Amino acid sequence: MSSIQDIQNEIIEEFDILGDDKESTIYYIMELGAQLPEFPESERIEENIIKGCQSKVWLTTQEDEDKIIFLADSNTDITKGLISLLIRVLSGRKPQEILQAQLDFIDKIGMGNIIGSQRSNGLAAMIKQMKLYALAYQTKQTI
């Protein structure tokens, strides 16, 4: 499996190809979201909604051999694309890797200029929730 930094570099290269074309970039983000696996209807519950997002974002996890697998969905295409990028980088990792991850790809692809401040706050909330899950798994593994 590629490292977190390798995956971030791949994402940066993909967005570099799009250049400064905001419309193409937003369309690409929405395409990425459409590729997320189907999210179970039974998991669309209040406890799985990420607080701090303008849109509804549901996030759950599964454990696979000490690694965290993230599953997510959103009621908006752009937000679904954003969470899909985070899943691409962080899913399938050990809790410690997730906690130590410096997600520099977000700034390097100019995400703040693309999505605006409200969605930037939501993106920060998504990252925070993923790291909280990692902390919970790490704590559980050490008990």
Residue 124 among the catalytic residues = no
All domains in the chain, ordered by first residue: 4-142 (3.90.1010.10)
What is the percent of the chain where pLDDT is above 90?
77
Q: What is the pLDDT of residue 124?
A: 93
Q: What is the pLDDT of residue 53?
A: 81
CA distances from 126 to 38, 48, 123 (A): 19, 11, 5
Task: Report whether pLDDT(92) > 90.
Answer: yes
Catalytic, out of 11, 32, 53, 89? 53
Task: Report whether pLDDT(10) > 80.
Answer: yes
Q: What is the pLDDT of residue 52?
A: 87
Segment 42-85, tens digit of pLDDT: 999 999 999 988 899 999 999 999 999 999 999 999 999 999 99
- Segment 119-129 shows an average pLDDT of 92
Amino acid at position 74, single letter: S
